Amino acid sequence: MLPVHERLAELYTLSRKRPLTHAEDAELQQCLQANAKYCWEMACLNNAALLAAAVNDTLWLQDTTALMNELRFTGRTAKRN
């Protein structure tokens, strides 16, 4: 789990107890944007992994899996060609 996901959960929990402040609401929007980007990138990599497996391209599959792990643990990936 990335820190942004922890903060997103924290802000959600706060919003269930009381209205968020303006600063908290802005932070919530930033967290939601970061989460959407993370989900989109993970979905793209997952689709690439499925394609790599379908065409039996083990090198592509290994590269894609490494990128997925990098994204999962750091929240970003190295630039791809």
Domain span including residue 57: 3-74
Would you state the structure tokens that stand for residue 20, as one six-digit string?
């968020």
Does 39 reside within a domain? Answer: yes
Mean pLDDT of 17-33: 98
pLDDT at residue 48, rounded to an integer = 98
CB 65 within 8 A of CB 49: yes
pLDDT at residue 80, rounded to an integer = 64
Does 57 reside within a domain? Answer: yes
CB 44 within 8 A of CB 51: no
| % of the chain residues with pLDDT over 90 | 91
Does 37 reside within a domain? Answer: yes
Computed on alpha carbons and rounded to an integer, the radius of gyration of the chain in Å comes to: 17
Q: What is the pLDDT of residues 49-59, one digit of tens each?
A: 999 999 999 99
| % of the chain residues with pLDDT over 70 | 98
On the question of pLDDT at 5 being above 80, the answer is yes
On the question of pLDDT at 81 being above 70, the answer is no
Orientation of helix 22-54 relative to helix 3-17, angle to 10°: 140
Does 81 reside within a domain? Answer: no
- What's the one-letter identity of residue 57? D
The residue with tokens 């997925």 is 68
Number of domains in the chain: 1
